A and B are shown apart, each in its own frame.
Chain A
């Protein structure tokens, strides 16, 4: 069986600076991959290359099909959705409109506005509010709901717990569990390693643009992970 997502020697540059040095990674359907690593290790850059936001060297495959170089706006219809770092909602649109925009490509599947509001019932009373007026946690929920609206095969989530109160983070991760249970393949970047390990079926630790350690969470010792994280 082919992998849902596979990366073969992926590189990326910001100007002359090389941010990724030959990343090789793969995810089977239904897996949850956690990318961990220190600030500047290349986690967000890697997410941006996968969703087509940043040009990449090497090769990226989705369902065995080479998608390297395909621009971001075409990848959504092919099954990749992204929850960007910092939520990046459309501030002048309402909550309802933000979720509707997420379903622009009309990819068929189980997710609809009703299903998103079932997942995050606290958004129902906020439907008509401008996205700008929501709390950080609510904004994060809208950002996840917006991404789900395209019924993605692969959901990329960048720092979904950043800056949120622990109780809200718990709520959001309960939703992530439900999304996983629905069979969606997830790649997530998580600052909180404990959190990342608890949801992941497979962990990749990045260090200075390279994979410094990978494996199933249960197989990785605390020591090995710490060494890979800090590069000692």
Chain B
């Protein structure tokens, strides 16, 4: 039974990891750039939620009403004012840029909030559980996280397949030069895509902050999990993040079962195995550009 309980917990943990990976998969899938500050932006989202809940006296989940539009705007500005300047020079400028930004965010958070670990509070939600059997119960919050990521994936899939803007996102990912001939400004598309990624980062930050405590330097560890998720799921594949997250989560809880010290290690080993067997991930989506 232990194995069954560990897998259920792993799947639930995978919901949070899928959220980590989703924002990164979006930026890589559409812009073909790598955001090394992704983890720090998630932590930034958690801190911003903390500020909003304190200033407005809202519960943490309600802070999303403010955070999602604010982060969308911030993402759009970030892409249009900063990242778009590095377009067409290959992948390196964006890596250097976001690496620098990662350092800036960490230290800005440290200066503003000190190095103390913080938590978001949602009252009872964090301790509520659903009993599955007599001696096994699953947390409501982890279940909710998994449901949120599934709803997000369904919504994104609908958006990419059935709206004009969604199709424009995919066409821009395929070929930003030809898309301009169709009257689409790839720079504007990129701005909207980054806005969308930031809105998802806001959601990720809130759910992470509800689940675990966080501190200014937690970003890089989140980034590694996000990378592992998209490596397992397939670089740039939006739907692949769910499988990637679940595999990573289950690998970690299984490792934990053997020995608690293997918790992180077994996740990394699972990622390496996928890299060795299927280097482009389980569901490779992005098509190689010429």
Residues of A within 8 A of B (CB): 51-53, 71-74, 76-77, 81-82, 84, 88, 90-93, 97-98, 100-102, 104-105, 132, 146, 150
Contacts and interface: CB of A to CB of B under 8 A. Distances in A.
25 contacts: A53-B177, A53-B181, A73-B180, A73-B183, A73-B186, A74-B183, A90-B171, A90-B178, A90-B179, A91-B287, A92-B285, A92-B286, A93-B167, A93-B170, A93-B174, A97-B167, A97-B170, A97-B171, A100-B164, A101-B167, A101-B168, A101-B171, A104-B168, A105-B183, A150-B183
Most buried by A among B175, B178, B186: B178
Given A84-B178, A93-B167, A104-B168, A76 B173 contact: no
A76 B182 contact: yes
Contacts of B186: 73
B91 to A, nearest CB: 20
Interface in B198-220: none
Most buried by A among B164, B174, B186, B285: B174
Contacts of B173: 92
* Nearest 10 Cβ contacts at the A-B interface: A76-B183, A105-B183, A72-B180, A73-B180, A90-B174, A73-B185, A90-B171, A88-B178, A82-B181, A101-B171
Interface string B114-143: 000000000000000000000000000000
Contact of A92 (B168, B174, B177, B184): B174
A54 to B, nearest CB: 11
Contacts of B182: 73, 76, 101-102, 104-105, 146, 150
A82 B182 CA distance: 8
Interface string B62-96: 00000000000000000000000000000000000
